[in-house]
Structure 1
Amino acid sequence: MSKRERSDDTLKDWGEFRLLNELILPILRRGSAGEELGDDCAFLSLNTAEQQLVVTTDVGPKPLVWAIGHESYRTWGWYTVLANASDLAAAGANPLAFTTSVEAPAEMLVSNFREYFEGLDAACTAFSLKNAGGNIRVAPRFACHGTAFGTIPNSEQVGRSTCQPGDSIVSIGRNGYFISSYLKASRLGDLGQLSASERDAVLRPVPQIREMQILRKAKVLSSATDNSDGVMGSLWNIIERSNVGIELWLDDQKIPNYVHQEALQHGLDPKNLYLFWGDWQIIASVKSGRLDDFKRIIGQENINASVIGVAIHGEKGVWGIEGERRSRLRLLRNENFVDRSFNENPISHTDYLLKTSLYDTDIEAD
């Protein structure tokens, strides 16, 4: 029992990440899982010296666009595969297979059930995952979970725990494009007013599978994790496993124009949009001394990526750098079991991430 645990503590009292770090991981690492647990995926040895099996499982999240009236089960099916495929991407894995467990009320329309599986099948095809079946069962409300399998060469495993001070922090994919597109749709009241690229960003986002396979083979990355809970959450995945701090570059010119434009329309700080979730990019670190190689590769392979900071020695945390200002940043991310989680209330969760100041005013700037 944790020293700080009380007999009447609930899951809500602890929150998702304290449960993971102080309860679930210590128990499983002492027993059936071993020390390797704690990355986006598990890496399992096969009866071969060349390959490992990569496994991940995740919920099929209800897409945020449901909150503005786009209640499409086809989109939900796509997101079920996406959430798991993005974990495979973070590992640099080669996609292999996908299974599901789907619950639904008996009163659910067959047409909606069909749409869900059509969306799921379309995503499996798009992400090169063989659908290996699964399970369906009756339940009070619709819910879905998926499990994805991939493979990776033994010598090319990428996780969260091997970032070193001096490594560059990079984002592989776009930053803030999903939430900017979503806010634009909510402001205009119609997804049809978006460009084709903006509609795809909210309805059919894609994981960074190809991009991460290329970078994994080049062996330029020292760590990686996907952005499913917010960029700050992804940075903390690396910080907690690698025992480093991170300086994040937040000058205005680092933030894309589409973020600035939509933030202005809603009276929001562009940095909150820039660090939001939904783009399914990979937050990674590039080995010290390999940054020029990384830049050459992303240029040659047409990979959308940017350098956003640097790993540092010292206290765990994220410090925002704007000009001469260096200030500690709050840990704004999605977290299950707490009031501000996406699953509890997507709208209040979104407001929390977009409207809460990034800077921790309780800690003085350096």
Structure 2
Amino acid sequence: MITNVDTAQLGQLGERNILEELIIPRFSTFRSDSTGIGDDCAEIGAPPDGHTLVMTTDPCPTPLVFDIADRDYWHFGWMTMLINLSDLAAMGARPSGIVVSTVMPNEMLVTDYQRFLDGLSAAADEWGCPIVGGNIKDGDSFTATGTAIGVVRKDQILRRVGARPGDQIFVVGEMGLFWAGLLRLMYPQRVVIGDAAAERLGRSLYRPVPRIREGIVLGGAGVVSACMDASDGVSGCLRELAIRNDADFIIDADLLRPCEAVAAVARSLSIEPAKLLLSWGNWELVLTVPEKRLTAFYDVATAQCIPYMRIGQVVPGPGRVLLDTDGGTALLSNFASERFTPTSYFTHGIESYAHWLLEHPLTETDQT
């Protein structure tokens, strides 16, 4: 038993006590179709006729807000669920459950691990995704990896391939808030905004959301021809979709309209707000809609209060992302979080990426 919860370390408990005192009591009765945690495998019910299971797995990177503003392990729990459910959202799938594997140092405080479980539980409740199993292991540093399972009707599944010339390009979600909020924290002397804007940016940093509901609704409505989640950034998502669909994606600069909170940060830093809209951290869905389905898309989005922004259209081409401005058309710079590149913050640090975001031009120098 834990005697002094404020100072107790995981190494003082041991594996069995961690399971029996911290994990099983919390999740064994979590609502699900499973029989609970404790067996060698998690049990997931078979999908109904006409449906299929989809699965995704992602390790949770250190949440940036954890390093910069709030060292609370709650953010690890929330983010572990978020990054996996965002992939399910991009397929139009409803969550069935998630298994979570954590590596924890012996000296990690029990209270810190409990905060991780708090964040995981909060996200599970928020999006109806039961924690049905996982694994714990000791190691040098804390890591968390989730594997989420979802179910979707076979005729309603959303995929990355399917866009055609003439389709309109949309972003579902709230663009630009994450990096606007992060830059406000990183450059407090330069960024001066009002209280309402600050509160909105704070929510995007501390409580980012996957677009599960929106993916399910739009998939069920049959209005989407191609879809991808923008976990690594809207610009990177556009690039991937253009390549996969063997078509050019033309982004209309006049349609990239930031909300006031994002615009205020961009003004303070003297940068184009489009950079913030096209960067990462907001967990949007980027999707295409055929011309003949536009009315149905607008109707369902309005009826279901789905936030969206139309940003361009698909045209014939070799798979480029182009920005159309009054000055002409140019290749759009890729502001994605892309690993194994000079702009990867995982390798080079968040300050390096922030500097690149602020200084790099919105378009590449080669004109088309």
Q: Which amino acid aligns with 1:60?
A: C
1:253-272 residue pairs with structure 2 within 5 A?
254-272=257-275
Q: What residue is the counterpart of 1:355 in the other structure?
A: 359
Q: What residue is the counterpart of 2:80 in the other structure?
A: 80
Kept after mapping to 1: 8 A contact 2:161/2:226: yes
Q: What residue is the counterpart of 1:137 in the other structure?
A: 137
Q: What residue is the counterpart of 2:23 in the other structure?
A: none
Q: What residue is the counterpart of 1:148 in the other structure?
A: 148
Q: What residue is the counterpart of 2:171 in the other structure?
A: 171
* Range moving further from structure 2, 146-155 or 66-75: 66-75
Q: CA deviation at 1:47?
A: 7.7
The alignment status of 1:207 with 2:210, answered yes or no, reads yes
1:22-171 residue pairs with structure 2 within 5 A?
49-171=49-171
1:304 to 302, 307, 319: 307
Q: Distance in 1 between matches of 2:239 and 2:342?
A: 20
Q: CA, structure 1 residues 291+112, in 2 after alignment: closer, same or farther (shift >3 Å)?
A: same
1:225 to 207, 225, 228: 228
Q: Which amino acid aligns with 2:338?
A: E
Q: CA deviation at 1:184?
A: 2.6
1:263-282 residue pairs with structure 2 within 5 A?
263-282=266-285
Q: Distance in 2 between matches of 1:133 and 1:180?
A: 36
Q: Which amino acid aligns with 2:79?
A: Y
Q: What residue is the counterpart of 1:285 in the other structure?
A: 288
2:243 to 217, 240, 244: 240
Q: Distance in 2 between matches of 1:262 and 1:118?
A: 32
Q: What residue is the counterpart of 1:18 in the other structure?
A: none
Q: What residue is the counterpart of 2:12 in the other structure?
A: none
Kept after mapping to 1: 8 A contact 2:331/2:363: yes
**In the TM superposition, what whole-angstrom CA distance separates every residue of 1:270-322 from its partner, at most 9, and x where no partner exists?**
12111111111100001221112211221121111011111110121111012
Share of identical aligned residues, percent? 31
Q: CA deviation at 1:269?
A: 2.1
2:336 to 333, 337, 362: 333
Q: Distance in 2 between matches of 1:253 and 1:60?
A: 30
Q: Distance in 2 between matches of 1:171 and 1:180?
A: 18
Q: Distance in 1 between matches of 2:80 and 2:303?
A: 32
RMSD of Structure 2 on Structure 1 (CA):
2.1
Q: Distance in 1 between matches of 2:256 and 2:120?
A: 38
Q: CA, structure 1 residues 319+129, in 2 after alignment: closer, same or farther (shift >3 Å)?
A: same
SS at structure 2 position matched to 1:321: strand
Q: Which amino acid aligns with 2:301?
A: I
Q: Distance in 2 between matches of 1:253 and 1:283?
A: 14
Q: Distance in 1 between matches of 2:80 and 2:265?
A: 28
Larger Rg computed on CA atoms: 2
Gaps of 5+ in 1: 1-45
Q: CA, structure 1 residues 329+214, in 2 after alignment: closer, same or farther (shift >3 Å)?
A: same
Kept after mapping to 2: 8 A contact 1:273/1:354: no
Q: Distance in 1 between matches of 2:67 and 2:106?
A: 24
Q: CA deviation at 1:93?
A: 0.5
* Range moving further from structure 2, 348-357 or 275-284: 348-357
Q: Distance in 1 between matches of 2:268 and 2:198?
A: 17
Q: CA deviation at 1:78?
A: 0.3
Q: CA deviation at 1:54?
A: 1.0
Q: CA, structure 1 residues 195+331, in 2 after alignment: closer, same or farther (shift >3 Å)?
A: closer
SS at structure 1 position matched to 2:297: helix
Q: Distance in 2 between matches of 1:154 and 1:160?
A: 15
Q: Which amino acid aligns with 1:247?
A: I
**In the TM superposition, what whole-angstrom CA distance separates every residue of 1:6-56 from its partner, at most 9, and x where no partner exists?**
xxxxxxxxxxxxxxxxxxxxxxxxxxxxxxxxxxxxxxxx78641100101
Q: Distance in 2 between matches of 1:247 and 1:319?
A: 5
2:350 to 313, 327, 346: 346
Q: Distance in 2 between matches of 1:68 and 1:233?
A: 25
Q: Distance in 2 between matches of 1:324 and 1:288?
A: 27
Q: Distance in 2 between matches of 1:139 and 1:216?
A: 41
* Range moving further from structure 2, 276-285 or 288-297: 288-297
SS at structure 2 position matched to 1:254: coil
Q: Distance in 2 between matches of 1:144 and 1:336?
A: 19
SS at structure 1 position matched to 2:341: coil
Q: CA deviation at 1:110?
A: 1.6
Kept after mapping to 1: 8 A contact 2:255/2:311: no
Kept after mapping to 2: 8 A contact 1:174/1:305: yes
Q: Which amino acid aligns with 2:362?
A: L
Number of residue pairs matched by the alignment: 318
